[in-house]
Amino acid sequence: MKVRAYALQAAIVAAVLLALYGLATLVAAKMRGLGVEPGFGFLWQRAGFDIGDTLIAFDAADTYGRAFLVGLLNTVSVAAVAIVASLGLGGALGLGQLARNRLLARLCEAYVELFRNVPLLLQVLIVYVLLIGRLPLPQEAWSLGPDVWLSKSGLALPWPTFTDVGLMLERPVLGRFTFSGGAMLTPEFLSVAAALTLFTAAYIAEVVRGSVQAVSRRQTEAAQALGLNDAQTLRFVVVPQALRSMIPPLANQLLNLIKNSSLAVAVGYPDLVAVADTTLNQSGHAVECIAIIMAVYLTLSLITAALMGGWHGRLLRQQGGYP
């Protein structure tokens, strides 16, 4: 029986590989017919387009490969900011729904219902329109703190830079038209990061609420009997136990956030998808560009899943597994 099962699996794998090979051959022949040589050699060709929002230097004379690197870094940066912010906001909203203050609990519940039931793309567009339409010009920028300014140009803030004398904090300075120096987070970046945060936080809030409520009430009563107050009970008893059931669904939400970051193209933020779209239109290498997008998102998802799985496994070992 085992031999038959293995033979059947081998036959299925061989059939899939053969089908993929036939498809690849057909696509390659079609591309050659259009005058496009298949392969990834185009990555070393001159890009010929500029990217407005970059973490590393880039201009039109650089290669398509460097353009993809810029898009990858932009995707990772906006996703990383949104992950940190959504975890904090979602955790607060989840605990807020369980608060004894009814007004606070109802407000948190209303937030969750609102942002869970409005499409993310619409939220991205709404935040972007609000930022562009309501923010002042750079000359009238709002001050959010020492050397932190918010305007139509984006969020200007101090940023550490390396110079000949060592590491120093470079502060933004208002020029004739906009700010220079420091770091500038564009309205497109802020729109995508804010929308991803607001949307994902609503789902994380439900994960936190459900996980906390899953902890036996006897644990809370025992902690209070030992003299712990509500904050101490939550920190030392409830949350450590809730994390065991919280991490797997949290991992799913973070994976969704990373994939949802591809909606950044809707507001012109030059993420990986936007760069790939421009590249395939110019070079004609649509299959290769799509393959790069798939490979990058698959890799980011696998890394995130591995990190969350490692955290979950470590927590279980520390706490002796599931009760």
Q: Which fold has domain 83-267?
A: MetI-like fold (1.10.3720)
Position 33 confidence tier, pLDDT thresholds 50, 70, 90 = low
Higher pLDDT, 33 or 253: 253
Q: Are 209 and 116 in contact (CB under 8 A)?
A: no
Across 69-73, 228-232, 287-291, the highest mean pLDDT is recorded for 69-73
Beta carbons within 8 Å of 222's beta carbon, 6+ residues apart: 237
Inter-residue long-range contacts of 307-316, CB under 8 Å, 24+ positions, other chains counted = 308/247, 308/248, 308/250, 308/251, 308/254, 309/251, 311/247, 312/244, 312/247, 312/248, 312/251, 315/243, 315/244, 315/247, 316/244
| Nearest alpha-carbon partner for 297 in 133, 11, 71 | 71
- In this prediction, residues 282-308 reach a mean pLDDT of 91
Predicted model pTM: 0.85
CA 47-50-53 angle, 5° bins: 125
| Nearest alpha-carbon partner for 97 in 15, 129, 89, 2 | 89
Higher pLDDT, 30 or 153: 153
pLDDT in tens, 208-256: 999 888 877 777 767 777 777 777 777 777 777 888 888 899 999 999 9
Q: Are 57 and 63 in contact (CB under 8 A)?
A: no
Higher pLDDT, 161 or 152: 152
Q: Where are the domains of the chain?
A: 2-38, 83-267
